[in-house]
Amino acid sequence: EAGVTQFPSHSVIEKGQTVTLRCDPISGHDNLYWYRRVMGKEIKFLLHFVKESKQDESGMPNNRFLAERTGGTYSTLKVQPAELEDSGVYFCASSPSNYGYTFGSGTRLTVV
């Protein structure tokens, strides 16, 4: 079984540019989550999809962040325009309906 795939693994962009992160969950997993770890801080929840619907987006920092999940399959997280404080590692995770999360390897975003 393939795991949760995230790409790119690293991204370096200039302040003001746009970046799109992608997450491919494990096939058949209805739940998809995004988390973020800013340098020196805790890993924090961003949002949760159930299939293509946003179940909870209370952790999204501001309206520069837009998440979508096309057809209940892969998800994208767009940051537009990127700011310096957006730098960090963005993790995606998926789970079926039996309480098990599987995380991807993360995307390290650096905004310069």
Partner 1 sequence: AQSVTQPDIHITVSEGASLELRCNYSYGATPYLFWYVQSPGQGLQLLLKYFSGDTLVQGIKGFEAEFKRSQSSFNLRKPSVHWSDAAEYFCAVGYAYSGAGSYQLTFGKGTKLSVIP
Q: Which of 20, 42, 5 is nearest to 109 (CA)?
A: 20
Number of residues engaging partner 1 in binding (CB under 8 A): 29
Q: Give the largest Cα separation in the chain, rounded.
A: 40
Considering the complex, state which of residue 50 and residue 81 has its C-beta at the smaller distance from partner 1. 50
Q: Is 1 in the site for partner 1 (CB under 8 A)?
A: no
Q: What's the closest the beta carbon of residue 105 comes to partner 1, in angstroms?
A: 4
Q: Is 91 in the site for partner 1 (CB under 8 A)?
A: yes
Q: Which of 46, 109, 52, 57 is nearest to 83 (CA)?
A: 109
Bridge-partner residues for 5, per DSSP?
A: 24
Structure tokens at 101: 């999360």
Binding string to partner 1 for residues 33 to 72, with x set by CB under 8 A, is what?
x-x-----xxxxx--x-x----xx--x-------------
